[in-house]
Structure 1
Amino acid sequence: MANAKYRIKRRKNALKELNELVERHSNLLIIHYSCESFYNIKDGRTPRITSIAVRYFNTGQTISFSIHKVAEKQGKLNSIEDHYNELEKSMLDEFYQFVSTHINFKWIHWNMRDINFGFEAINHRYSVLGGTPSIIHDNNKYDLARKMVDIYGTYIKEHPRFEKLIEKNNITKKDFLSGAAEAEAFENKEFVKLHQSTLRKVDILHIIVERIIENNLETDATLREIYGFTPQGLYELMKENWGYNLLIFLLGAVLSGVVGYIITFLLM
């Protein structure tokens, strides 16, 4: 019983937080980025950042930062590999200039929570290249992947969960690259493909958020796993799902009709 109550509380809190973020959508951003593979680096350095996409939730407009865009502006498209550090630094200069003017915005992200992959990884790369990152406070970060666990429990049972969730919800994967495909694209210097994948992923995150809010995101979680089999769980289920409310209403109407018929019969 205690575990069920805790699960329902976590779910309610996560949904409340997400709804409040969306209600104040003028200050809400979605971020994702791509980087060099963690596993192909032999010299012990951290992976290079290749592209970053930031989407305004209220307008859908996306601002992007990428090595190949900087290289094009500097006339170095054909020699990116010879100028990696310089180009990455210029790209991150642009990104942190954007961050400094949006420091108090809320940032929705997917698993960007440590030095391997996350805000800290981007901060670290910029510091290594000689920059001083503008720090986004943890209170302004919303990890959608973790919150989905609070809302649904095991929302997808197979890995990679992000990709399987996309497939389950019939969201188009045009330009989407898996982690392995992104690593291959970097090795092949296909920076445009990496950038397009990053852009696609912020678009997908936007769709997922909207479907959670509208209560029509498809997951692998059963109703019992989400709500539990307790009076409070059943109450939350009926409150959040109009179909169950309608069913209860119809059952009530039918039962009322049966009771009324019996009473009338007995009084005849």
Structure 2
Amino acid sequence: MASSEISRVRERSKCRKRLNEIYDEAINAYVIHYSCESFYAPDGHSPLANSTRVTSIAVRNLKSGQTKTWSIHKSAELSKQLDKLSELIKANAPLATQGKNPEILRPASTTRISEILDPLEHDMLKGYFSFLQDHSDSTYVHWNMRDDNYGFSALEHRFRVLGGNPVMLQDNKKFDLARELITLFGKRYAPHTSPKGRKGRLMSVIELNKIADTDALQGAEEAAAFVNGEFIKLQQSTLRKVDVLSNIFDRTHDKSLKTNASFTDRYGIHPVAILEVARNNPVILGLIFLAGALAAAVRYKESIGSIISWF
């Protein structure tokens, strides 16, 4: 038990050091978030065979707040394909919501969908990876972007599927804020379901800290927004997410982030943990120093008294 607590103290110290380094070089750091289609097939349909299509990406400079976005919708607008995209979305919208006879209206074929969406997604990812190549030395703060399901590798795979050649970002340039909050505050720092019933620790942290998130959608809501052709809503959500993550990063750095973590969750109960708290808190460190000085003075006085009484 003691060794695991000591290990956690050391990991926490490393995390805090890394976080401070990123903050100090904030002009060379970006917050990133992206949205995609649903990971799950609709009820009554076969499991999805292809990788999940990316729908929008946003990066926000941690220092300046300047934000750049790429999306299928923007690519369609720039290539004068908005009409075709709108027609496709309308044809693929749930028939029950269109107010038309299902026998008359049929969804677009998979081939038709690919013909329209693939070039647009390729253009979007090409823009993102071009940015990544120009800023490969920067650090990217993200939330759970760590695997082939949802992550940097998922973006790389989608670009390869579409015939692109992705830029590989080194792992030491990625800072997973979701995991590092666990390192700093323990697994119980926030519930997986927020007080308002929204899924995910991110939503819980947002509510605990009263962070503005008016346009932020949950993952399933972002997927639904794309299916329903609500592109502006989707873009606003992606932009809001990088703003929220930047806010959480700043609060974590200045130690003002509110969590459900107890003292034990944060620091453990081993004496090494207590020393770690003292080292990072000037007030406590000063009190310990003062107590040590007083103890030394008392011992000195007792020694002098013993010497005098001996004579």
Query: How much does 1:107 deviate?
Result: 1.0
Q: Which residue of 1 aligns with 2:102?
A: none
Q: Which residue of 2 aligns with 1:64?
A: 69
For the residue of structure 1 that corresponds to 2:184, the secondary structure is helix
Residues 50 and 191 of structure 1 are in contact (CA less than 8 Å); yes or no, is this contact kept in structure 2?
no
Query: How much does 1:174 deviate?
Result: 1.2
Answer with 1 or 2: which has the greater Rg: 2
5+ residue gaps, structure 1, are: 260-268
- Aligned equivalents of 1:207, 1:161: Cα separation in 2: 15
Counterpart AA for 2:236: Q
Deviations along 1:130-181, one digit per CA (max 9) or x if unpaired, are 1110111112111111111111112213331111111111001111001221
TM-score normalized by structure 2? 0.76
Q: Which residue of 2 aligns with 1:174?
A: 214
Counterpart AA for 1:225: D
Q: 1:243 to 1:179 in 2, by over 3 A?
A: farther
Residues 33 and 242 of structure 2 are in contact (CA less than 8 Å); yes or no, is this contact kept in structure 1?
yes
- Aligned equivalents of 1:191, 1:172: Cα separation in 2: 21
Q: 1:217 to 1:133 in 2, by over 3 A?
A: same
Q: Does 1:162 align with 2:196?
A: no
- Aligned equivalents of 2:263, 2:83: Cα separation in 1: 54
Counterpart AA for 2:252: I
Counterpart AA for 1:158: H
For the residue of structure 2 that corresponds to 1:199, the secondary structure is helix
5+ residue gaps, structure 2, are: 89-112, 194-199, 299-311
Q: Does 1:124 align with 2:164?
A: no
Runs of 4+ aligned residues of structure 1 deviating over 3 Å after TM superposition are 238-246
TM-score normalized by structure 1? 0.88
Aligned residues: 253
- Aligned equivalents of 1:237, 1:172: Cα separation in 2: 31
Query: How much does 1:105 deviate?
Result: 1.1
After the TM superposition, which residues 1-268 of structure 1 pair with which residues of structure 2 at under 5 Å, given as runs? 1-40=2-41, 42=46, 43-80=48-85, 81=88, 83-154=116-187, 155-159=189-193, 160-241=200-281, 248=287
Q: Point out the more displaced range, 39-48 or 182-191.
A: 39-48
Residues 32 and 57 of structure 2 are in contact (CA less than 8 Å); yes or no, is this contact kept in structure 1?
yes
Q: 1:158 to 1:94 in 2, by over 3 A?
A: closer
Counterpart AA for 2:152: F
Deviations along 1:1-40, one digit per CA (max 9) or x if unpaired, are 2122111111101110111111122221111100000103
- Aligned equivalents of 1:158, 1:84: Cα separation in 2: 34
Deviations along 1:214-239, one digit per CA (max 9) or x if unpaired, are 01111111011111223222233344
Residues 60 and 67 of structure 2 are in contact (CA less than 8 Å); yes or no, is this contact kept in structure 1?
yes
Counterpart AA for 1:180: A
- Aligned equivalents of 1:232, 1:68: Cα separation in 2: 53
